[in-house]
Chain A
Amino acid sequence: MTVARTPDEVRAKIADILRRTVPGAQVEGLDPKADLRDELDMDSLDVLNFATALSHELEVSVPESDYSELMTLERCTAYVLSK
């Protein structure tokens, strides 16, 4: 059973997870279409830690092949909502 959630709630949660998993990340004002790896200087460990937190806290399972789906705010939000 998944938690009912609105796009705004999901976006806020993603921003919150990014702030914690990528210390020092400037999440405010990020272009929703920009690649997070470029914007936030994320490496593969950051991506994995982000996906792990996302999977635990938003109760979505994220196979490794889907990591690339998480790499902009817009697509990440859509991905979570589609689950």
Chain B
Amino acid sequence: MAEFKMPSLGADMEAGTLLEWKVAPGDIVKRGDIIAVVDTEKAAIEVESFHAGVVDSLVVEQGTKVPVGTTLAVIRGEGEPAGAPASPPQAAAPPSANGPTSTPAPPAPLRRPRISPAARRRARELGVDAAQITGSGERNAVTLADVERAASARAADATKPSPAPEHPPPEAPPPEPPPVDRKAEVMRAMGAAMAKSKREIPHYYLSNTIDLEPAIAFLAAENAARPIERRIVPGVLLLKATALALRAIPELNGFFEGGTVRHAEAVHLGTAVSLRGGGIVAPAIHHAGELPLEDLMWRLNDVVRRARTRRLKSSELSDSTATVTSLGDRGSEAVYGVIYPPQVALIGFGRISERPWVYAGQVVSRPLVVASLSADHRASDGHRGAAFLRILEDKLKEPESL
């Protein structure tokens, strides 16, 4: 018997409102299935189950606001009798202050879906959820061909021309948020996390000005050959280069919690998205360093769209191992960001702009960007931080390798 609790969807979250149940008692759920929509101060989040089993009972009614850690539902494993008491009965846990890792450790799933290793890897590359695919292989295993089919079906959907205005948008609108002053809530939540960060994290800051001429030229050539819906924005190159550089300097990719540093194995890149009307969320792009540029572009567009329509998943809010903020072409020259706890680094990119630069002994006009690193001095030092920026610069100077 497992309890499904109000998750902590960020260092700044103390409580959440259960907006909507996506399951009912008796439903079978797999790990990763969306089982509820929870409203945090920032957004309505689709919360995924950490358990596999059958929904035994729903404990909290829709519309109720409860602290992080409160049991929301009880999920029983396969073969367990229905109605057994959740053991032991617990009071709502105090709000967790340690953010992304406070989600419960996942128990062994009932049965791992049969997905071939090659299909699993390809699905990750393409951003397809292989567990949702019906397999055609031996004993219904999901194969490479099944994943490719699912991805091309999705791509076909995505490249269809937008529907005529009289049709509803392809995705159902998000559940109506409760009548709160969302802007004020977002500012309050962000403020709490940033105050905690500045109070506890000894930041140090480094920056390099990087010549993006090769990257921009590479992208212009790439995009000229691509249909418009498959073009790539420069921010994607910045994300990919950052993910690869983080892989090389693991001290910057992970968490500082309970007095110790924990390096993360994978690079899940939090990507700061400004919400219209104010506020920022930084959903994770999972395994950003392993995605080809085109897939990374697709994932970025997808996650930004869902962040702004408030349809993020809980794993996207809790899995980031480092965060990138990129000011875009209307922003300032440079940004020295505030680390999102318990992460240990934030990478900032200012506006890409044409400025004078010395190249081969001549002052020439080149597209430059200021890349900055804000890092936690408990986890790394300026020496390693500088190495990170150097690797980042090297990657951007060889865009073909991205």
User: Direct A–B touching in the complex (beta carbon < 8 Å)?
Assistant: yes
Asked if A8 is an interface residue, CB under 8 A from chain B, the answer is: no
Nearest-neighbor residue (CB-CB) of B352 within chain A: A44
Q: Which of A23, A49, A56, A62 is in CB contact (< 8 Å) with B276? A: A23
Nearest-neighbor residue (CB-CB) of A24 within chain B: B276
Q: Which of B228, B234, B277, B301 is in CB contact (< 8 Å) with A62? A: B228
How many Å from the CB of A21 to the closest CB on chain B? 8
**In terms of DSSP, what is the predominant structure of the interface of chain A?**
helix
Contact B233 A45 (CB under 8 A): yes
Contact A52 B233 (CB under 8 A): no
How many Å from the CB of B232 to the closest CB on chain A? 9
Q: Which residues of B contact A52 (CB under 8 A)?
A: 228-229, 231
16 contacts between A and B (CB under 8 A): A17-B162, A24-B277, A37-B329, A37-B330, A38-B330, A41-B274, A43-B274, A43-B330, A44-B235, A44-B328, A45-B233, A45-B300, A51-B228, A52-B228, A52-B231, A64-B224
Measured CA separation A53–B220 after assembly (Å):
20
Measured CA separation A13–B223 after assembly (Å):
26
Contact B162 A44 (CB under 8 A): no
Contact A20 B169 (CB under 8 A): yes
How many Å from the CB of B75 to the closest CB on chain A? 34
* Most chain A CB neighbours (cut-off 10 Å) among B220, B229, B300: B229
Asked if A9 is an interface residue, CB under 8 A from chain B, the answer is: no
How many Å from the CB of A68 to the closest CB on chain B? 10
Q: Which residues of B contact A24 (CB under 8 A)?
A: 276-277, 308
Contact A57 B277 (CB under 8 A): no
Nearest 10 A/B pairs, CB to CB: A44-B233, A56-B161, A43-B328, A64-B223, A55-B228, A52-B229, A52-B228, A24-B276, A53-B162, A45-B304
Interface residue total, chain A, C-beta cutoff 8 A: 25
Nearest-neighbor residue (CB-CB) of A35 within chain B: B330
**In terms of DSSP, what is the predominant structure of the interface of chain B?**
helix
How many Å from the CB of B288 to the closest CB on chain A? 16
Measured CA separation A56–B163 after assembly (Å):
11
Q: Which of A37, A38, A57, A63 is in CB contact (< 8 Å) with B162? A: A57
Measured CA separation A36–B219 after assembly (Å):
24
How many Å from the CB of B169 to the closest CB on chain A? 7
Asked if B94 is an interface residue, CB under 8 A from chain A, the answer is: no
Measured CA separation A24–B275 after assembly (Å):
11
Asked if B85 is an interface residue, CB under 8 A from chain A, the answer is: no
Contact A45 B301 (CB under 8 A): yes
* Most chain A CB neighbours (cut-off 10 Å) among B169, B235, B301, B328: B328
Asked if B309 is an interface residue, CB under 8 A from chain A, the answer is: yes
Measured CA separation A65–B231 after assembly (Å):
12
- Interface membership of chain B positions 167-200, coded 1 if the CB is closer than 8 angstroms to chain A and 0 otherwise: 0010000000000000000000000000000000
Asked if A16 is an interface residue, CB under 8 A from chain B, the answer is: yes
Q: Which residues of B contact A64 (CB under 8 A)?
A: 220, 223-224, 231
Contact A48 B233 (CB under 8 A): yes
Asked if B165 is an interface residue, CB under 8 A from chain A, the answer is: yes
Q: Which residues of B contact A65 (CB under 8 A)?
A: 220
- Interface membership of chain A positions 22-39, coded 1 if the CB is closer than 8 angstroms to chain B and 0 otherwise: 111000000000000110
Q: Which residues of B contact A22 (CB under 8 A)?
A: 276
Q: Which residues of A contact B162 (CB under 8 A)?
A: 17, 20, 53, 56-57
